[in-house]
Amino acid sequence: MNSYDEKIGKLPENTPLLRIGSVQLDGCAFLAPMSGVTDLYMRRIARRFGASLVVSEMVASDEYVRGDVETRLRAEGTGVEPHVVQIAGSVGYWMGEAARLAEASGAAIVDINMGCPAKRVTGGAAGSALMRDLDHALSLIEATVKAVKIPVTLKMRLGWDHDSLNAAELAQKAEKSGIQLVTVHGRTRQQFYTGKADWQAIAAVKDAVKIPVIANGDCSTVADAVRMQQLSHADGVMIGRSAVGRPWFIGEVAHFQRFGYERAGPSADERAASAIEHLSGLVGQMGSLKGLRHARKHLAAYAERAIFDGFHVPDHIKSSLVTSESVEHVMALLDELFAAPGLRNVA
């Protein structure tokens, strides 16, 4: 295990636990919302391993209110506490109604997406496109905040492009409109996911507001999380792609933030149980074939992560995990993966 000062670095003194309005958190490391990825079962597993907060996949506000089945499933939070629903849209009426529905369905927090760079989202004047029109963005924030009693948070990027780095301005105005926490991805929309996240640029947002600020982008190790907080001056970190295949990683970061040393990684049995639970949940929710196909990105990531961490994964398992259309066969492969001869766990 790495020590607090010698191998990784040092967090700010007296790093506090975060509070979002009336919601007290038990740490400062969050799982990011990722469309098609952060399903209910990934969120449950991450939370159980110690993630301080997990956020639903982004849901389109109008589709959510109209009762679209898949959208409702993405917003499901049974077994997750506190439950956070992230909504997106460009019309105040639908944003307010979506927030009301989320609150009535048990959400403790509603998060507004103003950071998604996908063309299908920005083309509808939602997501990060809203950073080009702060007046409209604020009208959506106000409609959402006024609709509910629970806290509302906001996720954004640094700006639309490097000629309009207006995250600090948006955060300042959002705070005045009742937003109680902001998360900033350290890229512009035009960067999508290219280059490197600029953690230091997030510090301007932290300097502009009194509410908590969370830094997001390119955090793949505990050392990254520490460096991200040092450079951004943020109150916590949000982790996305690096948690796929290792939903326990966010909890490892939260543990280091709180106690100053790295905890041991999950055992082979814990990894196997997580992968099987994840698959079983998706199959139960979506049906055998659809659930299995949806799970493939996760199954491939569990296997790749096992290889990276020093496990022996036979080639036939890697390929069959993402091609087999038999749930029973895939379950057997997962058992075999984590019980294969030569298996070793490098914690």
The pLDDT tens digits for 277-297 are 999 999 999 999 999 999 999
Q: Is 116 a catalytic residue?
A: yes
Q: Give the chain's mean pLDDT.
A: 93
Query: Mean pLDDT over residues 125-154, rounded?
Result: 97
Task: Find residue 23's DSSP bridge partners.
Answer: 20
The rounded percent of the chain whose pLDDT value lies above 70 is 93
Task: Find residue 113's DSSP bridge partners.
Answer: 155
The residue whose two tokens read 């809203």 is: 130
The residue whose two tokens read 């916590």 is: 236
Write down the pLDDT at residue 338: 84
Write down the pLDDT at residue 314: 86
Residues ≥6 apart with Cβ < 8 Å to 305: 245, 246
Write down the pLDDT at residue 335: 87
Helix (H) or strand (E) holding 56: strand 53-60
Write down the pLDDT at residue 342: 43
**Among residues 20, 116, 219, 334, which one is catalytic?**
116
The pLDDT tens digits for 149-187 are 999 999 999 999 999 999 999 999 999 999 999 999 999
Task: Count CB-CB contacts under 10 A for residue 65.
Answer: 22
- What is the band of 339 on the pLDDT scale with cuts at 50, 70, 90? confident
The residue whose two tokens read 């994840």 is: 278
Distance CA 175, CA 35 (A): 26
The model's pTM: 0.93
On whether the CB atoms of residues 80 and 44 are closer than 8 A, the answer is: yes
Write down the pLDDT at residue 319: 93
The pLDDT tens digits for 238-250 are 999 999 999 999 9
Residues ≥6 apart with Cβ < 8 Å to 293: 325
Distance CA 331, CA 84 (A): 30
Indicate whether 9 pLDDT > 70: no
- More confidently predicted of 225 and 347: 225
Write down the pLDDT at residue 337: 85
Residues ≥6 apart with Cβ < 8 Å to 135: none
Write down the pLDDT at residue 311: 85
Indicate whether 316 pLDDT > 80: yes
